[in-house]
Amino acid sequence: MSNGNDRWSALKGDSQGSDGGRRYGGYSKQYNRKGYGSRQSSGSESRYNSWDRYQVKTEDGEVLRGSQGSSDRRYSNRVIETKPRWSRFSDNQKDRAARGDEPQVLRKDLDVGDGKGELNPFTGRSFSRNYYRLLELRKKLPIYNHRDEVLKIVGENKFVVLVGDTGSGKTTQVPQILSMKYGKENNKLIACTQPRRIAAVTVAQRVAEEMDVRLGDEVGYSIRYEDETSSRTILKYCTDGLLLRESVTDPLFSKYSMIIIDEAHERTISTDILMGMLKQVVFEREDFRLVVMSATLDAEKLQKYFNNAPLISIPGRMYPVEIKYLEEPVEDYLQATIEAVS
């Protein structure tokens, strides 16, 4: 162990002061009982960071440490994983298309939800157990038995109005059904708008799980200050406000082959403006379709506005939804809600 004078000599960069202090390319390295640390030299050498401040973890699990140009304390003890994220998909002989050994072919004749395909048409890999578990739940949704009707009517019309009760599954299932048929049509996306950011994020997460793909690949979302999409994305959930901002630079929405407006019955300002703009886009673009989904039965206004668009009605709901009003106002509505549901 070095004494006090040797320590001071090492800090000054004096290589003759002690064996414990050695000079390495612009900074002094000193050892102690707890391991080894480093001290920055003065002058131009101060730009070098501590030797153990930046760490890299290799595939074999070995942790390498090295100096970096930035001395920002935010990067202290940071470990970077160089091994790719673990995938729940099994690696077998059928994964050649996903690895790039063979061109990936999107089988448009296969419905993701029918369970007849041996491989996931999006990834080229075997379906996971979680996919089959969620598939059984999806089959119980009222919308599931109307898949063929949705594909037929949307394929024959550029305007379509779909009405389904809350809990019928229209938000998660309709975009999935249409993405199988029209996903990446002419290298364009399908967008499904939501009035709130939290809805766009959570629904995208659920749909990615049901389609057995990684969030951000085939299924993603875009909200303000956050974009979870990639070049592989075919279905994107986003807020209606974000789509309006895109129209500033792209008024014809040229990135999309179809836009699905969900929760149209809420009649937000952004939704109303967006429907007016998209109506004009349908007339100007031959390769564009618009689907408007609502949870109310008052669909005549929407049909009339969109040139007597055909109506798809999804009867039934997964769970009953009732609205009850209090006879008298309460001071603490949060506590009253807890007591009502407990």
The 10s digit of each residue's pLDDT in 291-337 is 999 987 678 889 999 999 999 999 876 566 677 788 888 888 888 88
Higher pLDDT, 74 or 122: 122
Report residue 340's pLDDT band, with 50, 70 and 90 as the boundaries: confident
Higher pLDDT: 317 or 249? It is 249
Specify burial of residue 193 (Cβ count, 10 A radius: 0-12, 13-18, 19+). Answer: buried
Distance, in Å, from the CA atom of 221 to the CA atom of 205, rounded to the nearest integer, reads 9
pLDDT at residue 4, rounded to an integer: 52
Split at pLDDT 50, 70, 90, the class of 104 is very low
Rounded-to-5 percentages of helix, strand, coil across the chain: 35, 20, 45
Model confidence at 226: pLDDT above 80: yes
- 173 and 143 Cβ atoms separated by less than 8 Å: yes
pLDDT of residue 3: 53
Question: In this predicted structure, what is the pLDDT of residue 45?
Answer: 44
Mean pLDDT on 336-342: 82
Residues of the chain with CATH 3.40.50.300: 138-314
Calpha distance 229→55 (Å, rounded): 29
Span 5-50, pLDDT tens digits: 555 444 444 444 444 444 444 444 444 444 444 444 444 444 444 4
Entry pTM: 0.63
Q: Specify the CATH architecture of the domain 138-314.
A: 3-Layer(aba) Sandwich (3.40)
pLDDT of residue 203: 97
- Give dist(CA 15, CA 28) in Å, integer: 9
The string of pLDDT tens digits covering residues 109-146 is 445 444 556 788 888 889 999 999 999 999 999 999 99
| Helices marked H in 139-268 | 147-156, 170-182, 197-210, 240-249
**Which residue type, as a one-letter code, is found at position 275?**
M
Q: Residue 62 corresponds to which amino acid?
A: E
